[in-house]
Structure 1
Amino acid sequence: MTPSVYVSRINQVDAAQLDKEIYKVLKTQTKEIAKYSVPGKIDKWQAEIDVVLKFLIWKFSLQRGSSTFGQRLLNLHYSNINQKKAVLYLILSVLPQYLKDKLANENLSDRGVLAQGLKSLVDWASNAVSLLELINLLYFLHRGIQPRVIEFLLGLSTQSITTHRPRTIGYSYMTRELLWHGLMELFTIGIPMINFHYLKHAVTRLWQRMEPAMMRSFPVMNATTKCAYCQENPILPSHAGCSHIFCYYCLQAHFTAMNMFHCPICNNELYAEDMKRCTVTSAPSSDDEESDDSFERVDNG
């Protein structure tokens, strides 16, 4: 088959991600082996162990061929790589991270100004590389080539081993996607139809001891009155037939969900058509002890 020049962006990104995952799997396995040794004995050599792992990955991939393990899994390879570029690839992918990890784990306070300056230089270089990776990502999204900074610096170009064809999607993947989208549609349609106000009140009535239902009475409102539902100062005070005051929006939310619900305090049945607004008609005075409780009812209309 004639190799295809064009390689989709997603395949290039997937290859880079697969390389990272393969490295993480090997690193995890080494940690599993090291956990049976003396605690802390292997940790001080972690930077060197990472270098050895990356060297082994490079030795059995780029040194012996023209592709990384992630590229091989996706039938990709570097079309213009040689031995010199392969060695530079190893150095650029290993040395900066090794210096950063090694200096991060060392106490440089007692090693002089030179060591601290070296650490500052490595930190600055690491930040510069991170910025370069962001710029290269934007460049890759525009051009569709060289998703990694190392590829850009070495001028490596990715090519497909097989002829160009649409990306195949497995049956199991499509099944999962169809099931997921089906569940999302079910939740989107079903959740708004659930009356959470009613369910919350029903659970409250089961687990809390409710006062017996009382006869309908005129609500009382004063400076200490709280909303029977949210227990905050009532906003646009309203009532619906019992002696308790609600925020307008607390009460209206219940009546939007259902025409009748039980007061969470006195357990009286409240109906939407009985909903009224409450306003204080006179300011408190020392001569009239009941002036705080005086108000007038204002119909919704």
Structure 2
Amino acid sequence: MEIQPAMSVEEPIRPPPPVDAWQHAYQAVAPSLESLRLTLKRPPQVNILRVNQIDAARLDVEMTAMLREQLMKVFSLAQPGLLLRYEPELNAFLELLVWRFSIWVDRPTPGSALMNLRYRDERTYSALASAGKVRNGLEGPGLTKFQKLSYCLAMVGGRYGWNRLQNLSAFQRWGDSDRSSWARRAWGFLQKSESMYKVACFFNLIVFLHTGRYRCIVERILKARLVYERPAMNRAVSFEYMNRQLVWHEFSELLLLVLPLLNMLSFRKVLSFSFSGRQTPSADFREDKCPICEASPITVPYKAVPCGHLYCYFCLRTRCISNHSYRCVRCEVQVTGMQRHQERVSLEGMDRRPD
């Protein structure tokens, strides 16, 4: 039986690709390549520590308070109460000085300098980021003149004007005027404006805690963002003193809470017994001398019931109120009451004056 050879199947010949096939393939992947290129060119997102920004604001307030204290010492010998009448003007003047020698000359405020922060115009930075001219995310120019002047008007002039309005409304008692008067309407407008501003500050605080940008409403409106001045610099503030201060503060609060609950007289007696090893004898106290305050003669003498030993009224009264089981210092008998001591005066031997 003869085996016939298998017939070979010829593969179909594929036609050559068109000349512009690579162009169609490039157009198909071009959107993905463009998104990847934009992702690589996107400026890095630098997160500024929120605690740095809050500490900077706190340090600025402390700096202004120090300047105010020094200025008050200069006028300490002047007329009493002279600076108190012009306290809003004084605060505005000091804040204006800080603004003039820091923000106006493109320098950080004292608190921002300690926290390695500076102000940056966020609008200009966004334009630089769109053009691909940003590397580490900390570039960008400072504030413009318009932003600086607006910052001064809002933070310095706004605070001064608001304080003056509050003092004027309180002094002239706008809130007690008739409902139809302009003073009552102005007072209501001030109250509503203050409430709306506080609500806006609250929402701005929530957004700030979430994003870490613009700690106050003025900075958010002006687009003035705090960024690091130098990337490789740590904060120049040591928290060792602050931690020590917090420890002593809490310790003092604990003492203020516990000391009123202690009976200091009993505590002192226990200590005296522990160190001396013997009880204080009753012979050490004279009858005409209060055993508590050691006043001689005794002021407003009262007798302790039932032992009858004499004390000053206030000394014995305070001990009995603080300790209901108070014991006499002389005889260690529990005092159950108090009685006024009536001294008997003898008239024998007194000379009469001649008529």
TM-score, normalised relative to structure 2: 0.46
Q: Deviation per CA, 1:214-253, whole angstroms, max 9, x where unpaired?
A: xxxxxxxxxxxxxxx867xxxxxxxxxxxxxxxxxxxxxx
Bigger radius of gyration among the two: 2
Measured after TM superposition, the shift of residue 158 of structure 1 is 1.2
CA distance in 1, matches of 2:68, 2:234: 34
| Residue equivalent to 1:54 | 95
1:64 aligns with 2:64: no
| Residue equivalent to 2:65 | 24
1:141 aligns with 2:217: no
Secondary structure class of the residue paired with 1:147: coil
Aligned residue pairs: how many? Answer: 209
Q: Is the 8 A contact 2:201 2:217 kept in 1?
A: yes
1:103 aligns with 2:165: yes
Q: Deviation per CA, 1:86-120, whole angstroms, max 9, x where unpaired?
A: 11111111233222321333333599943453344
Measured after TM superposition, the shift of residue 203 of structure 1 is 7.0
| Residue equivalent to 2:295 | none
Measured after TM superposition, the shift of residue 180 of structure 1 is 5.4
The change in CA–CA distance for 1:4 and 1:65 in structure 2 (over 3 A counts) is farther
1:86 aligns with 2:148: yes
CA distance in 1, matches of 2:83, 2:235: 43
Measured after TM superposition, the shift of residue 130 of structure 1 is 2.4
Q: Is the 8 A contact 2:116 2:235 kept in 1?
A: no
Q: Deviation per CA, 1:121-179, whole angstroms, max 9, x where unpaired?
A: 33332332223222222222222222222212222211111215665774x828966x9
CA distance in 1, matches of 2:243, 2:58: 22
The change in CA–CA distance for 1:40 and 1:168 in structure 2 (over 3 A counts) is closer
Amino acid across the alignment from 1:121: F
- 1:164-179 correspondence to structure 2 within 5 Å: 170=238, 173=240
| Residue equivalent to 1:162 | 230
The change in CA–CA distance for 1:8 and 1:164 in structure 2 (over 3 A counts) is farther
Secondary structure class of the residue paired with 1:78: strand
Secondary structure class of the residue paired with 1:105: helix
Over 6 Å off, 4+ runs: 203-212
| Residue equivalent to 1:282 | none
CA distance in 2, matches of 1:175, 1:125: 37
The change in CA–CA distance for 1:137 and 1:40 in structure 2 (over 3 A counts) is same
CA distance in 1, matches of 2:173, 2:334: 65
| Residue equivalent to 1:39 | 80
CA distance in 2, matches of 1:264, 1:63: 78
CA distance in 2, matches of 1:90, 1:175: 31
The change in CA–CA distance for 1:131 and 1:30 in structure 2 (over 3 A counts) is farther
| Residue equivalent to 1:271 | none
Measured after TM superposition, the shift of residue 199 of structure 1 is 5.3
The change in CA–CA distance for 1:115 and 1:137 in structure 2 (over 3 A counts) is same
Q: Is the 8 A contact 1:23 1:54 kept in 2?
A: yes
The change in CA–CA distance for 1:28 and 1:125 in structure 2 (over 3 A counts) is farther
The change in CA–CA distance for 1:103 and 1:22 in structure 2 (over 3 A counts) is same
Secondary structure class of the residue paired with 2:227: strand
Which stretches in structure 1 are left out of the alignment for 5+ residues?
213-228, 232-262, 267-301
